[in-house]
Structure 1
Amino acid sequence: MFSPPHVRVRSALRPILVALTSLLLLSTMFTGTASAHGSITSPATRNYGCWERWGHDHLNPNMAQQDPMCWQAWQANPNAMWNWNGLYRENLRGNHRGSIPDGQLCSGGRAEGGRYNALDAVGAWQTTRLPSSSNFSVTLTDQARHGADYFQIYVTRQGVNTATQPLRWSDLELIRTTGSYAPAETTVISNLSAPGRTGRHVVYTIWQASHLDQSYYLCSDVTFG
């Protein structure tokens, strides 16, 4: 049966239009949530590291053996990884210790209705290796350009083993409180020093954003030396 040329053209274009629509939906799903806020990307936070290593292959059962802490986090709530930049609390007025209980530091006190609870799980999270504890840096990726009123950067004390015990405020030493930073996509806080540290540690960063009373609580597992 003969089809007019304009009908044949529309039929040929239909699969292309369907494919383009699908790509647009996928783009919205995976980049829309990941462009709203920010996080520490170096050394990688727990959920950013899990997203970076496994976001392209997060259903791979090999993760259970190769990266078990990420596996349990993906199983608990995949949105905690897709939304690696959304771990914050609002209107705490700088009362960080009073608002975030011991054992819940890495989830920001069960922020976002408990989305990030698996980040508090005790175990041997994969670490970023840093050459020295006497000179290192922390990098914020701030896609929304919120800026910062200040950063507070802590490092666990020597002898604290976060692979076997929950992280507590008393485990941390404050090594830097910064001034304000203008809005930028990337902010690097350099020349940080935590003398005497070797082996596994947690670098704990509080980022107080400037646009609102919005506080981010970010755990980065590292190995010094």
Structure 2
Amino acid sequence: MTSRRTAAAVTSTAVLALSWLAAGPAFAHGSMTDPVSRVAGCHAEGPEHPKSAACRAAVAAGGTQALYDWNGVNIANAAGRHREIIPDGELCSAGNEEFRGLDLARADWPATALKSGPRTFRYRGTAPHRGTFELYVTKDGYDPSKPLKWSDLEAEPFARVVDPGMANGDYVFTGTVPEKSGRHLIYSIWQRSDSPEAFYACSDVVFGKDTGGAAPAAPAPTSAPASTPSSAPAGTPGRAPAAGHAEHTGHPAAPASSAPAAPAAPAPQGAASGEELAETGGDAAVPYLVAGGAGVLAVGAAVLFVAGRRRHG
């Protein structure tokens, strides 16, 4: 009787584990990299010792983990309700306490020089999924020294694209930037179509010849940290991305570089032949999870077999 109960318990656990693995979320992560977002730029500067004053202030406010999780500024159940569920002053963090340092109102965030007119944009997709990208720019008179509010953004996105193609790990799409001058901010929303999950990013930009002393944009992140960092500010121990925040590319990450890679040719939008289109559902971790679940079931079956032999022996 004891053997049968043990076998039944193991089998039940195995079935539950495999069910969880099959139904578990496929994490889709990413952030704007051209123009570079605050979180991606600060990550590129180095989470433990960022170079710019704004990135150092962000770490002081929220810790280093936010920068290691640079591709995870998200809301799992957004379902297009962005303005309803993200409070004014918390747009850059998407209301996520971990990323509160990104909401700091200051005029010295590293910024990308930008011109009005047609432009190619790049959004690093570390776990590709279908969805819609929308880019908003701040209104004339935007004051970066004040907390960012929804009313600071233009009412309509200047760029909107559904299921853009990918090139070298980036979603690549085009948009026409409206006439602006001075320092502004581009707010990007990536709403998945295969899930209610959405991702958000704030990219600081400067229009015109006079960049106002803006620092050049940092190179886009290419991979997650390979190991746990050796030091971190007191009270915020640095570590590699937490579970669910690891980078999933589906292929080996490109080696890190101290300088931005040469821009790739813009990929055509839509599902043109030969392009690397964002995949729907799943990610690189799924085959390993399924294999692990199968292993658990195999162990359960073995226990049942042994228990049966003992009962009939």
Q: TM-score, normalised by structure 2?
A: 0.53
Distance 1:145 1:178, change over 3 A: same
Alignment-mate amino acid for residue 224 of structure 1: F
Question: What corresponds to 2:135 in structure 1?
Answer: 153
Question: What corresponds to 1:224 in structure 2?
Answer: 207
2:89 equivalent to 1:103: yes
After superposition, where does 1:60-79 map in structure 2 within 5 Å? 63=51, 67-75=52-60, 76-79=62-65
Select 1:126's aligned residue among 103, 110, 121.
110
2:164 equivalent to 1:181: yes
The total of aligned residue pairs comes to 177
User: What are the superposed Cα offsets for residues 95-120 of structure 1, whole Å, 9 maximum, x if unpaired?
Assistant: 110011110100012x2xx1100100
Select 1:166's aligned residue among 132, 147, 162.
147
Q: Distance in 2 between matches of 1:49 and 1:129?
A: 14
Question: What corresponds to 2:277 in structure 1?
Answer: none
Question: What corresponds to 1:16 in structure 2?
Answer: none
Question: What corresponds to 1:40 in structure 2?
Answer: 32
Q: Which runs of 5+ in 2 are unaligned?
A: 1-26, 209-313
Q: Distance in 1 between matches of 2:166 and 2:113?
A: 28
Q: More strand by proportion, 1 or 2?
A: 1
Highest Rg: 1 or 2?
2
Alignment-mate amino acid for residue 136 of structure 2: Y
Question: What corresponds to 1:32 in structure 2?
Answer: none
After superposition, where does 1:191-210 map in structure 2 within 5 Å? 191-195=175-179, 197-210=180-193
Question: What corresponds to 1:3 in structure 2?
Answer: none
Cα distance, 1:210 vs structure 2: 3.5
The alignment partner of 1:48 has SS state of helix
- Give % identity: 37
Q: More helix by proportion, 1 or 2?
A: 1
Alignment-mate amino acid for residue 218 of structure 1: A
